[in-house]
Structure 1
Amino acid sequence: MRADRLLALVLFLQSRGKVTAAQVAAELEVSLATARRDLEALSSAGVPVYVQPGRGGGWQLIGGARTNLTGLSSHEASALFWMLGTAGLSDPATRVATRKLIRALPESLREEAETLATAIHYDHTTWGAVHKGDDANQASDASTTSIDHLSALRSALIARGTIRMNYIRGNGERATKTVRPLGLVAKAGTWYLVARPAKRSDEPRTYRVDRIVDISSSTESSSGDVSTSDEFDLIDYWSKHVKQVEALRSSVTAIIRAPKWALPILTNHFGSYLSVISSEGEFTVAEVRANLIIALAEQLAGWGQQIEVLEPSELRRELARIGAELSWMYSDG
C-alpha cells in the first residue's frame, strides 16, 4: 500500500467517522477490491481501525482515534488557508494535497479551513485600464484602510451570518446595507466583498471593502431563495463579474493615430483597452476603449497634436470643446 494513499485513508476516516469500502474507493479513486485491501492493511500496520459488518456497518477508528498530522496551530492554519484561498482546491495540481491538509486538521479547525478554501479568492490581474496614478493608489489605500474590516468579514463568512454595514457608493452617497457575505476577493491588491442582500433573493453584489465605513453583526435573518455558501461558486461568480465590468469599461471605442515612440506609454496607460490595428512608417493606428466619450477625451487631450483621433466624430468634437475651453481660460484676453 502506497504511503500517500495510507495517509489519505487515515485522514478520510478521521473526517467521516465511519466509512464503507465503496466510499473509500470513490474518494481515493481506486477499485472496490483495492479499497478493501487498503482498509485491511491499516489494521495490519497497527492503526486502531475495525470493521462492523452488515447493514449500517462500515470501517472506523477505534475510540475515535485522532491525530493532528499537520502540527499547525489554530493561528497558523487560519493564516495558511487565508493565504491559499481558492487556489488550493481549484488547481488540479494542488487539489488532492489541499484536501489531505484540511482532513489532517483537528475538527475544531477544519470548518474554518474549508470555508477559507472556497470563500477567499485572489485575482492578480489588474482591471483592463491601468492608470498608475490611480489604481496603484487604490491598492495602497485598500491595504491600510480595509485591514480592520477583513477580520470581521472573515468571521461572518465562517459563521455564515449577516452583517450590517455603512457603505459609500461610487457617487459618494452613504447607504446602510444588511448583507450575508459569500466571499472575499483581492484583485490586484484591492479587496472586494461578494455578498447577498439579507432580505431579498437578489443576485449577489460586489462591494469595495475600502468603501465600508463600519461593520456590525446583524440579528436579521436571510429570507427568500438564498443559497448556502457551499452552493455558491465564488470563482465562477467573479469571472462573470469581471467580464461584465470590463464590458462596461470598454463600451466606447476610438481609432487613433500616434507616433510609434508613444505606443509603450499608451499601452501602459490603457492596458488591455488598447489594440494595435496597423503600423506604417513612424506611426501606429490603434483602437482605444473607455466607458464614456468624455473619459477618452480627458485621457487623450494632454497629448495635444501628438495623437490624432480619426474617429468617432463625437470624440473629435469633445476634444475641440476641451481645447476651446483651455484656450479661452489661458488666453491673454
Structure 2
Amino acid sequence: MRSDRLVAILLMLQRREQVTAAEVAAELEISERTARRDLDALGMAGIPVYSVQGRGGGWRLLGGARIDLSGLTAQEAQALFVVAGPAAATTPEVKAALRKLVRALPEGFRDHAEAAASSLVLDSWRRGAGHVENRPPRFVDLLQNAVIQRVQVRLGYVNAAGHESKRLVHPLGIVSTGASWYLIAGTDVGQRTFRIDRVTAATATADPVVRPADFDLTDSWRQVTEDAQRWKAPVEVRGTCAKEGIDFLRTALGDNLSLGAVDAAGRVAVTIHGPSEYGLAGHLAGLVEWLDIASPPGVREHLAKIGAALGERYGSDEGVRRATPGCVARYASNASDDVFDGV
C-alpha cells in the first residue's frame, strides 16, 4: 500500500528532520531501492523533500517544513488506531500499514496510538454469525480511554448477586463479545473481569496504572474464558479416542474437549469437561464406537447403566453386546476401573 508508506515516510521526516534510504527501508520493511523511489515520489508530488549528498547525508524537508496531514491530531491518531488497530477485523495489509505508520508518528502520538491499538479485543468466536449486537454500555468510552491513557479509575460496581461495591482499579483492556462488554483490570486482590453494564459509576484519576510487563489482552481474555468454562463444567473425563472419531467429538463437545498425545495404537488422548457425571455419560454414550473412558469411575458406571437400559428396552443383552460393545461390555465388565495410562 504505497500511499501508507508515503505518509509514514513524511511523518518520519517531520519527526527526525533527516533520514537515509537505509533507515526508511529498515523502518518500513522494504528494500532501499523502493525507499529511494518513494522519497523521489514525495518530491514529484510537490512535497519539499531534498537529498543531501556525501558522508552524513540523507533526505530532509526543505527549511524544516511541517506538513499538515489533513489536520491529524493526537486524538485523531488515537481514534484511528482504536478502530483499525490489531484488535479490529481489518485486513492483514491494513494492519501491516498501521504497524509501519505508528513507528513514524511523532513521539507524543506514538504511545497513545500503540495503547489504543491494543486496548480492545473483539471476541469473534463468541459473537457468532447470529449474535445480537447490543449498544455499548454507558461507561465503555471512559473506561477505554482510561486503558489508553493508562490511569486508574474509581469504580462503582454491582455483582451478579446484586451486591454493590466501590473500588480503585487499574484498567488493562476492554473486550466486546457483541452481546456483552467487559473490563479486565488489576485490583488489590489480583486481576479481575467486570461486566461493564454492571458498572454504576466510573471516575478517571490522575494516578498511573500498574500494568504487568507481560500483559497481553488477547491471552488474558482467553484465560478468563477458559477459567469460566472450567467453573461451569467442573467434571473432568479422561480417555482415548480413535482418530476417525475426533471430528465427531469436536462437533459434539466444542470448547469442552481438549486433545493430547497419540499413543502407540494410534488413539488420541482426550480430556472432556462437563457439568455433571450423569450428564456427561448421557452425552458420550452415542460416541462409544470411538471413545474409551478411563476416569472418573462415576462416568463409567453411568455409561454401563445406560448400556444396560438400552439393552432392556431395545433388544436382548447379547444383541446389544454385539451392536454396542463399548457401552455394555466395556463398562459393565469393570465399571469401577480407573486405571489410565494414555495421557
**TM-score (structure 2 length as normaliser):** 0.56
Shift of 1:196: 1.9
Structural mapping, 1:154-303, within 5 Å: 154-197=144-187, 204-222=191-209, 226-227=211-212, 232-252=215-235, 272-273=255-256, 289-291=273-275
For 2:233 and 2:205, how far apart are their aligned partners in 1? 38
Shift of 1:114: 3.8
Partner SS for 2:156? strand
User: 1:158-184 deviations in whole A, cap 9, x for unaligned?
Assistant: 321110112233444333221221211
For 1:99 and 1:220, how far apart are their aligned partners in 2? 29
For 1:121 and 1:188, how far apart are their aligned partners in 2? 11
Aligned length in residues: 263
User: 1:45-71 deviations in whole A, cap 9, x for unaligned?
Assistant: 5321245679987544333422325x8
Partner SS for 2:145? helix
For 1:95 and 1:179, how far apart are their aligned partners in 2? 31
Shift of 1:234: 1.7
Task: Identify the residue that residue 143 of structure 2 maps to in structure 1.
Answer: 153
Identity of aligned residues (%): 37
For 1:240 and 1:17, how far apart are their aligned partners in 2? 45
Shift of 1:118: 1.4
The amino acid across from 1:246 in the alignment is Q
Equivalent residues of 1:157, 1:182 under 8 A apart: yes
Shift of 1:11: 4.3
Shift of 1:149: 0.7
The amino acid across from 2:227 in the alignment is Q
Partner SS for 2:175? strand
Task: Identify the residue that residue 320 of structure 1 maps to in structure 2.
Answer: none
Shift of 1:245: 2.7
For 1:268 and 1:37, how far apart are their aligned partners in 2? 53
Task: Identify the residue that residue 305 of structure 1 maps to in structure 2.
Answer: none
Question: Closer, same or farther in 2 for the Cα pair 1:149/1:3, shift >3 Å?
Answer: closer
Structural mapping, 1:31-50, within 5 Å: 31-36=31-36, 38-40=38-40, 42-43=42-43, 45-50=45-50
Q: Does 1:68 align with 2:55?
A: no
Question: Closer, same or farther in 2 for the Cα pair 1:53/1:237, shift >3 Å?
Answer: farther
Question: Closer, same or farther in 2 for the Cα pair 1:242/1:109, shift >3 Å?
Answer: same
Q: Which is further off, 115-124 or 93-102?
A: 93-102
Equivalent residues of 2:277, 2:299 under 8 A apart: no
Question: Closer, same or farther in 2 for the Cα pair 1:167/1:108, shift >3 Å?
Answer: same
Task: Identify the residue that residue 98 of structure 1 maps to in structure 2.
Answer: 98
Shift of 1:98: 3.3
Structural mapping, 1:3-152, within 5 Å: 5-14=5-14, 17-36=17-36, 38-40=38-40, 42-43=42-43, 45-51=45-51, 59-62=59-62, 63-68=64-69, 81-88=81-88, 92-99=92-99, 113-126=113-126, 143=134, 147-152=137-142
Equivalent residues of 2:157, 2:164 under 8 A apart: yes
Q: Which is further off, 162-171 or 2-11?
A: 2-11
The amino acid across from 1:23 in the alignment is E
For 2:9 and 2:77, how far apart are their aligned partners in 1? 21
Partner SS for 2:126? coil
Question: Closer, same or farther in 2 for the Cα pair 1:152/1:88, shift >3 Å?
Answer: closer
Unaligned runs of 5+ in 2: 238-249, 259-270, 284-296, 304-343
For 2:15 and 2:215, how far apart are their aligned partners in 1? 23
Question: Closer, same or farther in 2 for the Cα pair 1:217/1:56, shift >3 Å?
Answer: farther
Shift of 1:97: 3.5
Question: Closer, same or farther in 2 for the Cα pair 1:55/1:249, shift >3 Å?
Answer: farther
Structural mapping, 1:298-313, within 5 Å: 312=299
Task: Identify the residue that residue 330 of structure 1 maps to in structure 2.
Answer: none
Equivalent residues of 1:180, 1:195 under 8 A apart: yes
- Structure possessing the higher radius of gyration over alpha carbons: 2
Question: Closer, same or farther in 2 for the Cα pair 1:216/1:238, shift >3 Å?
Answer: same
